[in-house]
Amino acid sequence: MVSVSDDALTAFERRGLPLRNAFDSSFDEIMHVGPLSYDESGRLLYRRVIGLSEPYVALCHCLAGGLARDVIRAARQIVRGAVAMSSKDLSPISAEEAEDGVVDPIAYLLFQSRPEQAPPTLAAIAAAVIQDELLRKLRAVSNVIISAAPANASELQDTLYRIRQTLTLGQPVIHIVDLMIGACQGEPTELTSLYLDFAAYAYYCATLQEVFTDRLDRERIIAATSVPPGPDSFDALANARVAFSLDTLLAWRLITQFRKAWSLETREPGQMAAAATSFGQPDASVPS
């Protein structure tokens, strides 16, 4: 049993038409497996991770959009982030002192009497994971802009640099969305389309940051995991993540729907949407 892409499934389903390729010759059957629901993501994680509480299961599900492989990856990111945050500044003893075997007695006593540190909070872990995600996407977008239109991308690169500063300073991600909206005037349409993709993903990450905070209580989690899922459910937010593979503007609208259901401030893509639509992204409507 192997996992293949949707493109492979499409090619396989076309067998019998005037088409024969490696997929037709190699597989007996290919089945479409859609994104997991919230409950399915929870069962997947509980079989692999011990002690992962409900808010972190929801964060993994939404980060991954319900894609099983990415749900597991998100859990790894969260665990690594929590471990890294817990291990920071554990000792006032310097590395040089530890190597030489000479330790200041006062520093040693301070270390011994140091109270046990509180574990990192949901908000801190979510912010760290989201920051890492955005920095990865920022590097990728910057590289694509340089290779696609190096002579016309100076303004966009300046904006991306300000975005990196915003992330480094730990400011709310929604500020990145505000920074990007309207920043592509007069740029080539292919760059504007790429910029819209990143802005929409930042809009999604801003929603995660504002939802997964220490104010996410048991009542809110129960409401967001009820069946059937409503527009304020974690499944609705995960569906918005999946929609990025279909249409960026559709994903933006689904995110806005979710933010309205949670009484969060919303944003509109503005002129970026019009430019991207003219480049070939249809103005998709939200399914009823």
Q: Give the per-residue SS3 of the chain.
A: CCCCCHHHHHHHHCECECCCCHHHHHCCCCCCCCCCCHHHHHHHHHCCCCCCCHHHHHHHHHHHCCCHHHHHHHHHHHHHHHHHHHCCCCCCCCHHHHHHCCCCHHHHHHHHCCCCCCCCCHHHHHHHHHHHHHHHHHHHHHHHHHHHCCCCCHHHHHHHHHHHHHHHCCCCCHHHHHHHCCCCCCCCHHHHHHHHHHHHHHHHHHHHHHHCCCCCCHHHHHHHCCCCCCCCCHHHHHHHHHHHHCCHHHHHHHHHHHHHHCCCCCCCCCHHHHHHHHHCCCCCCCCC
Residues 182-202 have a mean pLDDT of: 76
Q: What is the pTM of this model?
A: 0.78
Residues 143-168 have a mean pLDDT of: 76
Percent of the chain residues past pLDDT 70, beyond the cut:
70
Please check the confidence at residue 141 and state whether its pLDDT lies above 80. yes
pLDDT band at 33 (very low <50, low <70, confident <90, very high): confident
The predicted structure's pLDDT at residue 51: 82
pLDDT, greater one: 184 or 249? 249
The predicted structure's pLDDT at residue 21: 61
The predicted structure's pLDDT at residue 127: 94
Please check the confidence at residue 27 and state whether its pLDDT lies above 90. no
The predicted structure's pLDDT at residue 185: 57
